[in-house]
Amino acid sequence: MSSIDFKGRVAIVTGAGGGLGRQHALALAARGAKVVVNDLGGARDGSGGSVSAAQAVVDEIKAAGGEAIANGASVTDFEAVQAMVAQAVEAWGRVDILVNNAGILRDKSFAKMDLADFRLVVDVHLMGAVNCTKAVWALMNEQKYGRIVMTTSSSGLYGNFGQSNYGAAKMALVGLMQTLSIEGAKNDIRVNCLAPTAATRMTEDLMPEAVLEALKPEAVVPAMLVLAAQDAPNRTILCAGAGSFEAAHVTLTQGSWIGLGGDAPEQLAQRLAEVSDRAGEIVPQSGAAQGSNEVGKAMANAGKR
C-alpha cells in the first residue's frame, strides 16, 4: 500500500480556522503540503470576523514543522479570493489543491425562513466555492494539474428538515462538480465532492454527546486526503463519518418508453412504479449521455405508437 503524501504541493483550505477545515489543513500539512489556512473568523451564522482563528492553525502547523500562511478573506468576495490565490502563488509558486470547506448555517423551516437567510447560505456555500474555484481554475489549467474538493452534505443529497437553504446550496455543489470534472479532465484537474458527517460547531447543538464523540471531524479527513491526492478519482461523491465511507451516486433507472400519444400522462401515471424501478439503474457519464439514452429508446420504438 503506497502512502499518500503531498510533498511539493500547495493547498488552500477555506473555513480552516476550526472544526473540519482545521483538521483538513493539519492533515495536509502533516503529509507535506504547504497550506493556506483561510478563515473569515465569523460565527457559525456568518456574523463577525477575525483572522486570529486561521493564524492559530498556522501556528499549530508551524510548531509541527510544516509551512502555512493565514488568510482572512471572505469566500463571498471574489477580489479577496483572487488576492488569496495570489498570496499562495507569491509564497510558493503554485496552487495544487483547493478544499472548499467554508460554510455557515441559518436553519429554519422554509415557512419561517427569511429570503435573506436563504440567499446568504447559498452565497457562502455555492458562490463561495464558485469564487474560489474560478480563482484557481486558469492556474490549474496552465499547470495541467489540480485537485478540487467540494463539500456537499447529506442535507443536499437526501434532505433535512429546516435546511432548505443549506440543502439547496449543497446539492448545487454536486451539479457544479459534475460539470467541472468533465471540463477539467483534459488538464488533469480532478473535481470531487465530500459529504461529511462530523461533529463541529455547526452540529454541536443537534446531537447527543455520545454521538458527537463518535463523529469526530478527524474521521472524515481520510476521504478528503484521497480526493485531494495525486491518484484521486474524478467525479466522485464520497460520504464519510465515524470511520465509515460510502459513495453516493445520482442514478438513472432503466425507465419505460411511453411515447407521445395523447394518453401519455395517464400511461406514465399508471406505469410510474415501473419507471421508478431501480433494477439495472445506471450512472450516466454526462447530461448528454442521459439524453442519448432517451433518444436511443425513442428510435428503437419508432413506429410503435
- Mapped to the 3 state alphabet, what secondary structure does 129-141 carry? HHHHHHHHHHHHH
Give the type of residue at 165: N
Tell me, yes or no, if 145 is annotated catalytic. no
30 burial class (0-12, 13-18, 19+ CB within 10 angstroms)? middle
Residue 79, phi then psi, degrees to nearest 5: -65, -40
C-alpha cell recorded at residue 135: 480563482
Which residue shows C-alpha cell 433518444? 295
C-alpha cell recorded at residue 112: 419561517
Q: What is the DSSP secondary structure assignment for residue 222, as one 8-state letter? A: H
Active-site residue, from 166, 169, 220, 241? 166
Please list, in sequence order, all residues whose beta carbon lies within 8 angstroms of the beta carbon of residue 54, skipping any fewer than 6 positions away: 16, 17, 37, 38, 39, 41, 70, 71, 72
Euclidean distance between CA atoms 299 and 259, whole angstroms: 11
C-alpha cell recorded at residue 113: 425562513
Residue 6: helix, strand or coil by DSSP? Answer: coil
Q: What are the Cα distances from residue 187, in Å, to 95, 150, 286?
A: 14, 18, 18
Give the type of residue at 241: G
Greatest Cα pair distance in the chain: 73
Q: What is the DSSP secondary structure assignment for residue 278, as one 8-state letter? A: -
Helices (H), the chain: 19-30, 52-63, 78-92, 115-122, 128-143, 154-157, 164-184, 209-214, 221-228, 264-270, 272-276, 287-300
Number of other CB atoms surrounding residue 11 within 10 Å: 27
Catalytic residues: 166
